[in-house]
């Protein structure tokens, strides 16, 4: 256990104490207890940054978890994971600070839930970016889905919140499943779950039949998480979450997990044409669709949501183009494709700063005016000057205007796209000319929605009658976090090279390992002015056409594409979900009849068919009574009694007699255990029978009087077939097993236990030693099942649904 | 309060505690002789059920003020925490340890981590049985 292991675990540990602190210190906002954690983690992580110019050496620490399956809790810290971990903790700290002022410390606000979910999310996210082991990564990955769904549904009494949470959960979790399948395929090919080792064996697996399926499955996970087209539809609905959550999940962390995954797997799949085209084209499509759709939105958070979708597409497409770097030689730390990776990492960082501040600003507007609808807002510039200034900085950066950091990455994005178009691998010649065109069109729309956001909110006429509250400037506490982020936007806009060799270059080295010579670094030099080149003219065009469209906004919004209120792709999700529910209800109605008898029929029929089929297929019928144990006369007697009582059971007309008969069977079996010298089993059986009788009598007391004729056993052909079938199959299997062991003598497992019970577990009672030691995990999980059953019984009985109510 | 036969009550008062004592013995005997958490738990539950049958639920609730749902939770926690003990020392989950400790007067004592684990199971079994039986019994009354 090293310090690094504690980084993803610390939030979970703190989360345990939150409910206690929430109850103990009611007058203190729970957020204050959470705040120190991300700050401490951030400070701890900062020290790993290579300030002195020396390259960052990756650190790896391992704890064995299930070593026999290659599953270990391995923490791996390199430039890429450090960049993400810093974003998660840094933005996390600001978001917590912001939330303290945003969510009032009122009794009806379940703050303990909020912060527990938030911490869970933070820990899961840190786990994703720090794990080297794919299975551990997957576990944390799904935890982020779960935690984010809980956060989105924080105000669960709102229908829309629940809808958004369900949607995000369904889409991201199914993507996660696909990703898990991809991971197992990789394991199949390489025999390891470690990303390091997989990267080391790329040359062997790249020709494997399973390589492309694995790639596509993993990309499905990344695309659903990062809201790539057409999976982006969950992100706008996720905006029902409280704004601090939106700022955190949807600007800095969760949606970037997909980006992280693609970056992480670039060394594995990077040299492939399929990877290049899939990642680039989906990224570009998302970029275009997101920016065009953002113009439709009337809700400020809706605009930001689609803006996030589009910016994620931008980073994704850059990663796609940058993956071609494996086809080129790197000279002096630079090659034609590496600039795309550079742009992706720079924009990733910049996006987190300006989008984070914008989300917080929108939260402030919502908080102070009571609405986020741009049709109601307007003229807030003079009323909320500080908010306006922060918005101006954020929006200008998002639109890609100098001197803010968004301009730098936007220019670099154009450079990346232009260089992508001029690649001469993967048949880029045929379609590559599209890259810069799409990039430019999307940027025009980006500029357009940036203008809408800023001007519709802050300029024009103030309409106080449409607002729920009287607008005024936000309290200082709410402003701290966005001010810090906006200052970062300006700071890194003016001095971009602060990032160059501390953050961007180590991240690039992590994404593109093995390309550099020993001791070399990628060439990172970020500057504002690079002459009158294509990129600058593209930016000028963006500003010009964007402004032109804004002037003609009415006409733009009257085009057919903008007439609908929602994203047209939602149709597929809503109808798909409806179909799923109708379909499963239909299946349920056939299968779940509510009659115990039918369930037994299904189960036994399945048993007969599956086991019977295997018996026939493998031809294992065999009869060989050699080595069979002697059967004493007592046993014949007891077994005969058991058989007689069992056969008599269905002919009983009286319930009490039936219960007593069942009891007799149970006690006779206990007797059998005694004769066969299994005191533990006999004791258990006896006690269970005793308790069962009490239970049966209690249930009996509650059973409604059944009509006599229902109880008369009618001879039922299907019942007879099934019961005889089960008996036959079990008997034949038993005989076959015995015959098999005669032919193939093997050492019995019981011998192992007899020999080792005392030596390894220090106990003489083998049964008990097996229960608590050799198979302790089974026992533990069994008692967990007991606990769940007890819970179910209590819920079923105490909270009975009323007539016609849904369970 | 329903009346119950006097003989029944008198006998139960004695017998229930004999069963309880025996169940505790069974629990501790478990590691080397028939018994253990599961059987001990069931027997304790049987004794308590007998008490509930003889006297009414209210009376027993006063005498034995356990929340059985919490008992299940406590048992599960105990079992899991015991299992995690080994992890601190870098061993896999559920590693067991045992050692002979010699106390003055009491003599040699065989300390195993299996014991607290088994205690967890014991608690879950007792809690489960009684929770289910009591919930069903209280229903409708």
User: A649 and A661 in contact (C-beta within 8 Å)?
Assistant: yes
Contacts of A188 (CB under 8 A, 6+ apart): A210
Give the pLDDT confidence score for residue A603 in this predicted structure: 92
Residues A684, B42: C-beta atoms closer than 8 Å: yes
> What pLDDT, in 10s, does the model give residues A482-491?
999 999 999 9
Torsion, CA B44, CA B50, CA B54, CA B57, rounded to 10:
60
- Contact at CB, B93 and A777, closer than 8 angstroms: yes
Burial grade of A57 (CB within 10 A; 0-12, 13-18, 19 or more): exposed
Give first-to-last CA distance, chain B, whole Å. 12
What value does the mean pLDDT take over residues B50-77? 85
Strands B98-103 and A59-66: unpaired
For residue B82, how far is the Cα from the chain centroid?
A: 17
**pLDDT for residue A93 is more than 50:** yes
CA–CA distance, A746 with A601 (Å, rounded to integer): 36
User: Rounded to whole angstroms, how far apart are CA atoms A764 and A769?
Assistant: 8
Question: What tokens appear for A198 in the block?
Answer: 């997989």
The per-residue pLDDT for A214 is: 92
Min Cα separation A702/chain B (Å): 8
- Residue A385, both tokens: 């000057």
Closest chain B C-alpha to A249 CA, distance in angstroms = 32
Residues of chain A with C-beta less than 8 angstroms from the C-beta of B129: 691
Over range B74-83, report the average pLDDT: 88
How far is CA A304 from each of CA A237, A245, A450, A559, rounded to the nearest angstrom? 12, 13, 9, 22
Highest mean pLDDT: which range of A54-63, A520-529, A609-618: A609-618
Nearest residue to A315 via CA among A289, A290, A276, A284? A284
Segment A65-90 mean pLDDT: 89
> What is the average per-residue pLDDT within A22-28?
84
How far is the C-alpha of A487 from the C-alpha of A481, rounded, in Å? Answer: 10
Q: Which residue has the higher pLDDT, A624 or A262?
A: A262
Does residue A797 have a pLDDT over 70?
yes
Longest Cα separation, chain A:
105
Are A772 and B121 a contacting pair at CB < 8 A?
A: yes
Predicted model pTM:
0.79
A87 Cβ partners below 8 Å, 6+ apart? A252, A253, A256, A348, A349, A352
Whether residue A176 has pLDDT greater than 90:
yes
Q: CA–CA separation, A796 vs B31, rounded Å? A: 37
pLDDT > 90? residue A178: yes
Mutation pick from A6, A677, A790, A794 vs chain B, by most beta carbons of B within 10 Å, is: A790
Query: Under a CB-based contact definition with an 8 Å cutoff, are residues A103 and A32 in contact?
Result: no
- Scan for tokens 């984070």, then name that residue: A356
Q: Domain locations in chain B?
A: 6-139
Q: Quick one: average pLDDT of A720-726?
A: 88
The answer, for A687 touching chain B at a CB cutoff of 8 Å, is yes
Residue B2: the pLDDT is 59
- Among residues A286, A481, A325, A473, which one has the least CA distance to residue A388? A473
How high is the pLDDT of residue A709?
46
Residue from the list B34, B120, B132 with its beta carbon closest to the beta carbon of A765: B34
Q: Distance between CA atoms of A58 and A80, rounded to whole angstroms?
A: 10
Q: How confident is the model at residue A701 (pLDDT cuts 50, 70, 90)?
A: low
pLDDT digits (tens, 9 = 90+) for A568-616: 888 888 898 999 999 999 998 888 887 777 888 889 999 999 999 998 8
Helices (H) and strands (E) in chain B, counts: 5, 2
- Weakest-pLDDT range from A559-573, A685-699, A703-717: A703-717
Quick check: A712 pLDDT over 50?
Answer: no
Contact A64 B96 (CB under 8 A): no
For A355-393, write each residue's pLDDT tens digit: 999 999 999 988 888 888 888 888 888 888 899 999 999
Which of A4-8, A316-320, B52-56, B126-130 has the lowest average pLDDT? B52-56
In a mutational test of the A interface, the residue from B83, B121, B133 whose CB has the highest number of chain A CBs within 10 Å is B121
Mean pLDDT (whole number) for A7-19: 90
* Banded pLDDT at A711 (limits 50, 70, 90): very low
Kindly give the pairing relationship between strand B107-112 and strand B98-103: antiparallel
| Segment A551-559 long-range contacts (CB within 8 Å, at least 24 positions apart) | A553/A448, A553/A452, A556/A295, A556/A448, A557/A295, A557/A296
Check whether A777 has a pLDDT greater than 50: yes
**A225 within 8 A of A254, measured Cβ to Cβ:** yes
Identify how many contiguous H helices and E strands chain A contains and give both numbers.
35, 2
Each residue of A463-481: pLDDT tens digit? 877 787 777 888 888 899 9
Residue of A695, A776, A783 lying closest to B76 (CB–CB): A783
Name the residue among A132, A81, A131, A127 with its Cα closest to residue A506.
A81
Higher pLDDT, residue A294 or A763: A294
What CA–CA distance (Å, rounded) separates A336 from A322? Answer: 9
Chain-centroid distance of CA A360 in Å reads 24
**Is the predicted pLDDT of residue A629 greater than 90, yes or no?**
no
**Mean pLDDT, chain A, as a whole number?**
86
Residue A47 and residue A85: Cα distance in Å, rounded? Answer: 12
- d(CA B5, nearest CA chain A) in Å: 18
* Mean pLDDT of the A627-638 span: 85
pLDDT in tens, A189-231: 888 899 998 988 888 888 888 899 999 999 999 999 988 888 8
- pLDDT in the model for residue B3: 62
Q: Which residues of A are less than 8 Å from B83 in CB distance?
A: 776, 780
Query: CA geometry: angle at A181 spanning A177 and A186, to 5°?
Result: 145
Q: Six-digit token pair at A543?
A: 């500003």
Please, which residues have CB within 8 angstroms of residue A186's CB and are 6 or more apart in sequence? Answer: A134, A193, A198, A205, A214, A218, A268
Helix (H, G, I), strand (E, B) or coil at B65: coil
Site of tokens 């008062």: B13
Contact of A542 with A444, CB cutoff 8 Å: yes
Name the token pair of A310.
């589009």
CA-closest candidate to residue A366, choices A351, A352, A380: A380
In the structure, what pLDDT confidence band is assigned to residue A807 with cuts at 50, 70 and 90?
Answer: very low
CA separation for the pair A470, A475 (Å, rounded) = 14
Cα separation, A302 vs A294, in Å, equals 7
Query: How far apart (Å, rounded) are the C-alpha atoms in residues A139 and A123?
Result: 12
Q: Given a cut of 60, is residue A533 above it in pLDDT?
A: yes
Is the bond preceding A591 in cis, omega lying within 30 degrees of 0?
A: no
77-136 of B, contacting A, C-beta below 8 A:
79-80, 83, 90, 92-94, 96, 98, 110, 112, 114, 117-118, 120-121, 124-125, 127-129, 131-133, 135-136
Phi-psi region of A75 (alpha: psi -120 to 50; beta: other; left: phi over 0): beta
Angle at A737 between CA A736 and CA A739, to 5 degrees: 65
Does position B17 have pLDDT exceeding 90, yes or no? Answer: no
How far, in Å, CA of A58 to CA of A76, rounded?
7
For residue A394, the model assigns a pLDDT of: 92
pLDDT for B93 = 75
Q: Residue A672: which residues within 8 A CB-CB, separation 6 or more?
A: A635, A638, A639, A642
pLDDT tens profile B110-126: 677 778 888 998 999 99
Q: Quick check: A385 and A473 in contact, CB under 8 A?
A: yes
Q: Of B93, B96, B131, which has the smallest distance from its Cβ to A790's Cβ?
A: B131
């Amino acid at each position: 256990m090293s310090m690094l292991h504690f980084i993803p675990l610390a939030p979970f540990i703190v989360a345990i104490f939150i409910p206690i602190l929430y109850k103990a210190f009611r007058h203190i906002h729970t957020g204050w207890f959470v705040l120190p954690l991300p700050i401490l983690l951030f400070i701890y992580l900062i020290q790993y940054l290579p300030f002195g110019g020396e390259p960052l050496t990756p650190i790896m620490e391992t704890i064995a978890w299930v070593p026999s399956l290659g599953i270990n809790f391995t923490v791996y810290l390199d430039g890429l994971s450090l960049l993400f971990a810093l974003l998660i903790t840094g933005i996390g700290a600001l978001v917590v600070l912001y939330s303290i002022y945003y969510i009032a410390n009122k009794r009806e606000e379940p703050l303990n839930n909020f912060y527990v979910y938030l911490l869970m999310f933070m820990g899961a996210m840190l786990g994703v970016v720090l794990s080297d082991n794919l299975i551990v990564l997957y576990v944390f990955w799904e935890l982020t889905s779960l935690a984010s769904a809980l956060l989105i549904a924080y105000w669960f009494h709102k229908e829309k919140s629940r809808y958004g949470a369900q949607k995000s959960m369904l889409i991201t979790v199914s993507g996660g499943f696909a990703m898990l399948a991809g991971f197992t395929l990789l394991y199949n090919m390489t025999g390891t779950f470690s990303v390091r080792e997989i990267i080391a064996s790329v040359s062997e697996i790249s020709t494997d039949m399973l390589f492309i399926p694995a790639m596509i499955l993993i990309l499905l996970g990344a695309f659903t998480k990062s809201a790539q087209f057409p999976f982006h539809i969950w992100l706008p609905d996720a905006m029902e979450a409280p704004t601090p959550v939106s700022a955190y999940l949807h600007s800095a962390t969760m949606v970037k997990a997909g980006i992280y995954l693609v970056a992480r797997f670039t060394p594995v799949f990077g040299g492939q044409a399929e990877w290049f085209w899939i990642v680039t084209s989906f990224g570009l499509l998302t970029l275009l669709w997101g920016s065009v759709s953002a113009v439709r939105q009337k809700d400020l958070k809706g605009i930001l949501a689609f803006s996030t979708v589009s910016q994620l597409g931008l980073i994704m497409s850059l990663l796609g183009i940058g993956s071609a770097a494996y086809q080129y030689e790197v000279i002096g730390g630079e090659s034609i494709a590496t600039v795309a990776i550079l742009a992706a990492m720079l924009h990733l960082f910049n996006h987190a700063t300006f989008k984070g501040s914008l989300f917080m600003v929108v939260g402030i507007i919502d908080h102070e005016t009571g609405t986020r609808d741009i049709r109601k807002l307007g003229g807030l510039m003079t009323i909320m000057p500080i908010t306006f200034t922060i918005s101006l900085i954020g929006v200008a950066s998002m639109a890609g205007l100098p001197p803010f950091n968004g301009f730098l990455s936007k220019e670099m994005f154009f450079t990346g796209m232009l260089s992508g178009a001029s690649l001469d691998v993967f048949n880029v010649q045929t379609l590559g000319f599209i890259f810069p065109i799409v990039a430019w069109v999307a940027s025009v729309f980006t500029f357009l929605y940036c203008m809408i956001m800023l001007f519709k909110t802050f300029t024009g006429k103030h309409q106080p009658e449409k607002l729920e509250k009287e607008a005024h400037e936000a309290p200082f506490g709410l402003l701290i976090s966005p001010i810090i982020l906006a200052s970062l936007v300006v700071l890194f806009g003016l001095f971009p090279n602060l990032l160059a060799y501390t953050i961007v270059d180590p991240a690039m080295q992590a994404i593109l390992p093995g390309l550099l010579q020993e001791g070399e670094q990628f060439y990172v030099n970020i500057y504002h002015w690079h002459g009158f080149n294509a990129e600058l003219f593209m930016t000028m065009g963006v500003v010009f056409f964007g402004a032109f469209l804004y002037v003609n906004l009415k006409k733009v919004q009257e085009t057919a594409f903008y007439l609908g209120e929602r994203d047209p792709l939602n149709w597929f999700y809503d109808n798909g979900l409806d179909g799923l529910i109708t379909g499963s209800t239909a299946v349920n109605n056939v299968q779940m009849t509510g009659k115990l008898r039918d369930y037994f029929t299904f189960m036994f029929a399945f048993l007969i068919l599956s086991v019977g089929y295997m018996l026939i297929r493998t031809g294992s019928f065999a009869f060989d009574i050699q080595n069979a144990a002697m059967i004493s006369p007592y046993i014949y007697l007891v077994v005969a009694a058991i058989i007689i009582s069992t056969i008599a059971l269905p002919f009983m007309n009286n319930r009490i007699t039936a219960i007593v008969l069942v009891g007799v069977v149970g006690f006779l079996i206990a007797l059998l255990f005694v004769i066969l010298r299994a005191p533990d089993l006999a004791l258990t059986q006896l006690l269970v029978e005793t308790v069962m009788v009490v239970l049966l009598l209690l249930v009996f007391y509650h059973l409604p009087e059944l009509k006599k004729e229902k109880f008369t056993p009618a001879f039922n052909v299907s019942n007879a077939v099934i019961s005889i079938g089960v008996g036959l199959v079990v008997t034949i299997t038993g005989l076959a097993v015995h015959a098999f062991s005669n032919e193939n003598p093997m050492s019995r497992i019981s011998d192992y236990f007899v020999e080792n019970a005392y030596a390894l577990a220090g106990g003489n009672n083998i049964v008990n030693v097996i229960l608590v030691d050799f198979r302790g995990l089974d026992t533990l999980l069994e008692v967990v099942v007991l606990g769940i059953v007890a819970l179910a019984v209590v819920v079923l009985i105490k909270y009975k649904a009323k007539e016609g109510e849904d369970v | 309060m329903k009346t119950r036969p006097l003989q029944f009550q008198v006998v139960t008062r004695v017998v229930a505690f004999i069963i309880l004592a025996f169940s505790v013995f069974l629990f501790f005997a478990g590691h080397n002789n028939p018994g253990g958490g599961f059987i001990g738990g069931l027997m304790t539950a049987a004794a308590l059920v007998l008490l509930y049958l003889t006297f009414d639920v209210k009376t027993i609730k006063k005498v034995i003020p356990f929340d059985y749902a919490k008992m299940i939770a406590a048992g599960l926690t105990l079992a899991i925490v015991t299992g995690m003990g080994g992890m601190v020392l870098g061993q896999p989950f559920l590693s067991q340890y045992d050692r002979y400790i010699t106390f003055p007067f009491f003599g040699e004592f065989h300390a195993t981590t299996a014991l607290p684990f088994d205690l967890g199971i014991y608690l879950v079994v007792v809690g489960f049985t009684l929770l289910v039986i009591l919930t069903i019994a209280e229903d409708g009354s």
